[in-house]
Amino acid sequence: MAIRNIVLDGDDVLRKVSRPVTIFDEKLHLLLDDMAETMHKAEGVGLAAPQVGILRRVIVVDVGEGVIELINPELISKRGSQTGNEGCLSFPGQWGIVTRPMKVKVKAQNRYGEEIIVKGEALLARALCHEIDHLNGVVFVDLAERMLGPDED
């Protein structure tokens, strides 16, 4: 496993739409392992493949309950809403107020290509929405009602 470089704000790769994964091979497994390690090292709760320069529909999320790997994730239902502070490893030191669903259900594939359903609420729902947005070239600053200064919360 290896730490990969995280793409920062201003890089065009963050604005591109990622392509679906069709091959579930060792290269994908290495990417997933590296993404989890990179996310943990950076103390983030989620990371999307375009953030390490790979335009494929792959995300990892860990809100403190273990790593969730999602390939080709699709939001299939959402309920309620939550408004709160959000940041991104590609936007260090920037925070904004973003409204997200309170509960989501996501259909995806695991690293072997098997279909899985993941349900999330609160922070997990927020992280899943944030990371899926990355696969469509959408970043949280696009959605923020307002941005916060570094010392506000």
Contacts with Co ion by CB under 5 A lie at 88
Alpha helices in the chain (DSSP H): 26-41, 123-135, 140-143
Backbone angles phi, psi at 129, to 5 degrees: -65, -45
- Looking up tokens 């925070």 gives 95
Question: Please, which residue, 72 or 126, has the CB nearer to Co ion?
Answer: 126
Which one of 37, 115, 131, 152 is the catalytic residue?
Answer: 131
116 or 141: CB nearest Co ion: 141
Q: Closest approach of Cβ 44 to Co ion, in Å?
A: 8
Q: How buried is 10 (Cβ within 10 angstroms: 0-12 exposed, 13-18 middle, 19+ buried)?
A: exposed
Q: How far is the CB of 127 from Co ion (least distance, A)?
A: 9
By beta-carbon proximity to Co ion, the closer residue of 24 and 123 is 123
Is 71 or 88 the residue whose CB approaches Co ion more closely? 88
| Shortest distance (Å) from residue 28 CB to Co ion | 20
Please report how many Cα atoms fall inside a 13 Å half-sphere around the Cα of residue 124, on the Cβ side: 16
30 phi/psi in degrees, rounded to 5: -65, -45
Residue 7 Cβ vs Co ion, minimum distance, rounded to whole Å:
10
Q: Is-catalytic flag, 114?
A: no
What is the CB neighbour count within 10 angstroms for residue 50?
A: 27
Catalytic residue IDs = 131
